[in-house]
Amino acid sequence: MRILLINPFCPLSEGPSPSLGLAFLAAVLEEAQFEVRILDFVVQPYSREGLEAVLSDFQPALVGLTAVTMTFHSAREVLADLKQIDPTLPAVMGGPHVTFCARQTLEEVPELDFIVLGEGEATLVALARSIAQGGGGEGIPGLAGRSGGEIFCASHGPAPLDVDRLPVPARHLLPLGRYRTLNVAVSMTTSRGCPHRCIFCVGRKMVGARVRYRSPIKVVDELAGLSAMGFAQVNIADDLFTANARHCMAICDLILARDLQVRWTSFARVDTVNVPLLERMKAAGCTGVCFGVESGSPAILKTIRKGITPQQVVSAVEMCNTAGVPPFASFILGLPGETPQTMAETVAFGERLREMGVSYGFHVLAPFPGTEVRENVARYDLRILSDDWREYHANRAVAETAEVSRTILDGFLGDWEKRYQVWLGELKGRLERGEADEAEAWPLRNLERVDLLYRLMMERALERHGTWQNGGRPLDEAQALAALCKRIGEQPGFRDKPLAAVLKEARSSGGLLLEQRDGRVRWSWLDYL
Ligand code: B12
Ligand code: SF4
């Protein structure tokens, strides 16, 4: 039986990264002897015709879609096309959005047959087996769906998985070549579970309070595999990577013992780091840690149950500086109780951290389904203004507090983005005047490069302009690349872009394929590694 998994579109601004959720799901399905294919519309352009072609070629018996809140709409659009093409094909959705509004989603989206709640591996395999045997999925732990015109919703999920027995994520089914060409970090996890209860997060509710670990050997094997594939940067995405010092140290020790040259970053809580741990992380290739600081106001940190204080943040930053691991701090504005004074406190705290060498950034609160702050909104100083899930990207306000309106929050973020644009503009000016060197220019060059590559991919530049009849002898490499640049450069929107440099780099990193046969030149992206 064949199963098609789909990753819906998500904009470049959200930082594309190969979907770990789909890779784990595909791995357990393959282990259970199902044949799996993944369509990834984050880096491959979507078209109904393309979808139709895959359905007709692959003939899946079940289609699974993933979504976070802001991508739910894109997933729904793909689903609508899918059901128009084949109304009998069962469709299941999972992920941190639908898990917490399953009944409502099934009521509102008639095209959707099933929803998997929470951690999806065991439930999806059970559903696939049930469908293979002509069943309807009822009674499967962790599943919601339809039966006899009624919606059913499992009262409990399957037992938490032993994550150490999970197979390696099936990333070979993802278009990793495109991600590598975009030079984005690839994420992996070394554990699942979170005992904390931050009121804006669904992490704990998705994966449970008990932390379950993958053995250091498996973790380091996976890291080695990613490094061998040529990914320049890995992101260890566990919230609590540094919480269990023994686990974290064991992984670092193994990286060092195997002399693995891999660069990685990790998320961390400020109350779980110490200098010896950070020093070991640095020695093992850690190039930065990201702390969820959320607010500079002690009162707000208390309200959101973050369980940390500004003083602990400062201490963690000092420790990072001692160990030489660059820290990054992430703040959320518009949390319950936010006032102009607490916002000023957060901004001042950010500046204080910046003076200590910390980079930092802001989001606004998006009260996702399933979060304590949404489920018990009446308990908090918060008014939710929109249920349009497309707006839940946390870059513009969808909620406000008694004293801080949506206009204030949006104005703040708008100004923050403008400051960044001004900084980029100034850097550009200095570069043009020869006042900045290439090391300084890197953020700008990288932004331009990624933006251009992504547009080339999503606007199908190679598919449209990368194949032509050359007639005579095969072109040499440089001629073929120059001809490609000329052809794309003639298209509106691509004129005056640094195509030659960007495509040359993509070619030398192995991201571009060239085929010449019978007088035909054909350029394409490398999809699979
Ligand atoms: C790492 C991470 C990222 C990484 C990489 C994500 C990736 N490509 O895999 C980056 C930095 C790129 C990222 C980006 C964003 N993220 Co993020 N991210 C995480 C984090 C920390 C871990 C995710 C992860 O890899 N988990 C491990 C995998 C195995 O779990 P999973 O993806 O949840 O999949 C499992 C289940 O959900 C389920 N499942 C998922 N899909 C499907 C599909 C089917 C068919 C089935 C059956 C089951 C199923 O089964 C999977 C296996 O168990 C989570 C927090 C958390 N602890 O979950 C936030 C989290 C997922 N991110 C979140 C958000 C909001 C975002 C962004 C919108 C950024 C932003 N503005 O905040 C973007 C959206 C990008 C996108 N397309 O998803 C929210 C989502 C909440 C929501 N309801 O929308 C989370 C939950 C954090 C939070 N605030 O609570 N993120
Ligand atoms: S923000 Fe991090 S620490 Fe807090 S509940 Fe979510 S996953 Fe746990």
Query: What local confidence, expressed as pLDDT, does residue 512 receive?
Result: 98
- The closest-lying atom of ligand 2 relative to the alpha carbon of residue 194 is 8
Q: β-strands 234-236, 264-268: how paired? A: parallel
Mean pLDDT (whole number) for 164-181: 98
Return the bridge partners of 94, or none: 66
SS3 61: coil
Do 189 and 102 belong together in one domain? Answer: no
- Enumerate long-range contacts of 422-430, CB under 8 Å, 24 or more apart: none
Query: What local confidence, expressed as pLDDT, does residue 159 receive?
Result: 93
| Cα of 203 from ligand 1 centre, angstroms | 9
Mean pLDDT (whole number) for 339-354: 98
The answer as to whether 29 is a domain residue is: yes
CB 416 within 8 A of CB 354: no
The answer as to whether 454 is a domain residue is: no
CB 2 within 8 A of CB 35: yes
Mean pLDDT (whole number) for 257-281: 97
The answer as to whether 418 is a domain residue is: no
CB 114 within 8 A of CB 144: yes
Mean pLDDT (whole number) for 431-448: 90
Do 104 and 201 belong together in one domain? Answer: no
Do 121 and 214 belong together in one domain? Answer: no
The answer as to whether 436 is a domain residue is: no
Cα end-to-end span (Å), the chain: 24
The answer as to whether 487 is a domain residue is: yes
Nearest residue to 453 (alpha-carbon basis) of 492, 511, 495: 511
Do 264 and 364 belong together in one domain? Answer: yes
Do 229 and 274 belong together in one domain? Answer: yes
Nearest CA to ligand 1 atom 75: 14
Query: What local confidence, expressed as pLDDT, does residue 517 receive?
Result: 93
The answer as to whether 450 is a domain residue is: no
* Consecutive H or E run containing 94: strand 91-94
CB 384 within 8 A of CB 374: yes
CA angle 294, 296, 302 (to 5 degrees): 70
Do 17 and 116 belong together in one domain? Answer: yes
- What is the residue-wise DSSP string for 140-172? -TTEEEEETTEEEE-SS-PPPP-GGGSPPP-GG
CB 158 within 8 A of CB 208: no
pLDDT in tens, 71-107: 999 999 999 999 999 999 999 999 999 999 999 999 9
The answer as to whether 165 is a domain residue is: no
Q: Residue 235: pLDDT above 80?
A: yes
pLDDT in tens, 17-50: 999 999 999 999 999 999 999 999 999 999 999 9
Answer with the one of 352, 368, 384 that is the final residue of a domain: 368
Q: How many structural domains are present in the chain?
A: 3
**DSSP, res 487:** H
Do 207 and 306 belong together in one domain? Answer: yes
- 3-19 burial by CB neighbour count: b if 16+ within 10 A, else e? bbbbbbbbebeeebbbb
Mean pLDDT (whole number) for 251-270: 97
Mean pLDDT (whole number) for 343-364: 98
Q: What is the mean pLDDT of the chain?
A: 96
Answer with the one of 347, 368, 389 that is the final residue of a domain: 368
Q: Which domain holds residue 470?
A: 459-525
pLDDT band at 419 (very low <50, low <70, confident <90, very high): very high
Q: Residue 239: pLDDT above 80?
A: no
Percent of the chain, pLDDT > 90?
96
Return the bridge partners of 66, or none: 94
Q: β-strands 286-294, 264-268: how paired? A: parallel
Determine if ligand 2 sits within 6 Å of the CB of residue 237: no
pLDDT in tens, 184-201: 999 999 999 999 999 999
Nearest residue to 118 (alpha-carbon basis) of 86, 143, 136, 89: 143
The CA-atom distances, in angstroms, between 497 and each of 94, 214, 263, 451, 505 are 39, 45, 30, 11, 14
Do 319 and 199 belong together in one domain? Answer: yes
CA angle 73, 24, 273 (to 5 degrees): 95
Do 216 and 353 belong together in one domain? Answer: yes
Which residues neighbour 493 within 8 Å (Cβ) at sequence distance 6 or greater?
A: 455, 459
**Ligand 1, residues at Cβ distance < 6 Å:** 10, 14-15, 17, 19-21, 24-25, 64-66, 68-71, 92-97, 116, 119-121, 124, 187, 189, 201-203, 206, 237, 239, 363, 368, 393-394
Biggest alpha carbon–alpha carbon distance for the chain: 75
| Cα of 198 from ligand 2 centre, angstroms | 6
Query: What local confidence, expressed as pLDDT, does residue 189 receive?
Result: 97
Do 47 and 115 belong together in one domain? Answer: yes
Answer with the one of 324, 346, 368 that is the final residue of a domain: 368
CA angle 24, 229, 163 (to 5 degrees): 25
Give the CA count within 13 Å in the CB-facing half-sphere of 256: 13
The answer as to whether 396 is a domain residue is: no
Query: What local confidence, expressed as pLDDT, does residue 167 receive?
Result: 98
User: pTM value?
Assistant: 0.97
Residue 294 maps to which CATH number?
A: 3.20.20.70
How many Å apart are CA 244 and CA 99, to the nearest integer? 28
* Consecutive H or E run containing 186: strand 186-188
Nearest CA to ligand 1 atom 70: 393
Give alpha helix (H) positions in 59-120. 72-85, 102-108
Do 226 and 353 belong together in one domain? Answer: yes
Query: What local confidence, expressed as pLDDT, does residue 457 receive?
Result: 98
Residue 140 maps to which CATH number?
A: 3.40.50.280
pLDDT in tens, 403-413: 999 999 999 99
Query: What local confidence, expressed as pLDDT, does residue 204 receive?
Result: 87
Query: What local confidence, expressed as pLDDT, does residue 464 receive?
Result: 97
SS3 255: helix
Determine if ligand 2 sits within 6 Å of the CB of residue 198: yes
Q: For residue 425, with 0-12 CB atoms within 10 Å meaning exposed, 13-18 middle and 19 or more buried, which class applies?
A: exposed
How many Å apart are CA 81 and CA 153, to the nearest integer? 26
Ligand of minimum distance to the alpha carbon of 195 = 2
Determine if ligand 2 sits within 6 Å of the CB of residue 51: no
Q: Residue 473: pLDDT above 90?
A: no
Do 334 and 288 belong together in one domain? Answer: yes
Q: Residue 365: pLDDT above 90?
A: yes
Determine if ligand 2 sits within 6 Å of the CB of residue 203: yes
Query: What local confidence, expressed as pLDDT, does residue 364 receive?
Result: 98
Q: Residue 472: pLDDT above 80?
A: no
Q: Residue 110: pLDDT above 90?
A: yes
Determine if ligand 2 sits within 6 Å of the CB of residue 201: yes
pLDDT band at 203 (very low <50, low <70, confident <90, very high): confident
Give the CA count within 13 Å in the CB-facing half-sphere of 8: 24
Query: What local confidence, expressed as pLDDT, does residue 478 receive?
Result: 95
* Consecutive H or E run containing 38: strand 35-40
The CA-atom distances, in angstroms, between 184 and each of 124, 230, 267 are 29, 11, 16
